[in-house]
Each structure stands twice: as C-alpha cells, then as structure tokens.
Amino acid sequence: QKEVEQNSGPLSVPEGAIASLNCTYSDRGSQSFFWYRQYSGKSPELIMFIYSNGDKEDGRFTAQLNKASQYVSLLIRDSQPSDSATYLCAVNNNDMRFGAGTRLTVKP
C-alpha cells in the first residue's frame, strides 16, 4: 500500500465548476497536510496546508481533513483554465511523503 494515494486523473471539469481532489494516507500519526500545485515542467508550489480536522478556506481553495478516515481533500471553486495543473498531496509526520499527484484540466 502506498503511503499517500491520489487518483492520477486526468480530472476534467468545465470552467466555473468545482474541482474536487482527494488524497488518502496510511500513517495514522501524520500531523500536517499540504497541497502543492505543479504546472507542467515547473516545480511544486505550496497552495494550502491544514493541521486540524475540518475545513480550511483560502480564496477559491478549501482543504478538508478527516483524520479518522485518513482522508484529505482539496476543493477548487469557480475553476479557471489557469488551474489546470497537477496537484500533489503531501503528508508529514516525521518526514514528508508526497502522493503521485492528480492532473486537473479545466476546459473553457
């Protein structure tokens, strides 16, 4: 079992829709959770982090964490073509573990 699992996609949504990206992790001791966006050929950039169960909102982005289910998600509201990228989930206990990423395409 992979430590951090994400659907590879591609996930395709129309412009203006909500994109929902999901991530599960195996280490119950994980304490912090991050979402990175990676455009093709570029390096990952941090867009959200969450430490506590529940929702955390930042502009059009909402991170959701459920530690009991070992599940973290990222919602992107009002999706734009510029949101088309690969989204990496990262989970930190004593070290950082990355998922393989979900490729999102937002169609105009």
Q: What are the φ and ψ backbone dihedral angles of 82, each rounded to 5 degrees?
A: -70, -10
Please work out the total of residues on this chain that contact other proteins, with binding judged by CB under 8 A.
23
Per CB under 8 A, the segment of 19-27, 36-44, 62-70, 74-82 that binds other proteins is: 36-44
What does the alpha-carbon distance between residue 57 and residue 61 come to, in Å, rounded to a whole number? 6
Return the residues of window 37-96 that contact other proteins according to CB under 8 A. 42-46, 49, 51, 88, 90, 92-96
The token pair at 35 is: 């979402």
Can residue 26 be called a binding residue for other proteins (CB under 8 A)? no
Tell the smallest beta-carbon distance from residue 62 to other proteins (Å).
18
Total count of residues recorded for the chain: 108
Which residue number, 52 or 66, has a Cβ lying nearer to other proteins? 52
What does the alpha-carbon distance between residue 16 and residue 60 come to, in Å, rounded to a whole number? 11
Q: How many Cα atoms occupy the beta-carbon half-sphere of 37 within 13 Å? A: 13
Query: Which residue ranges make up the site for other proteins (CB under 8 A)?
Result: 4, 8, 31-32, 34, 42-46, 49, 51, 88, 90, 92-96, 98-101
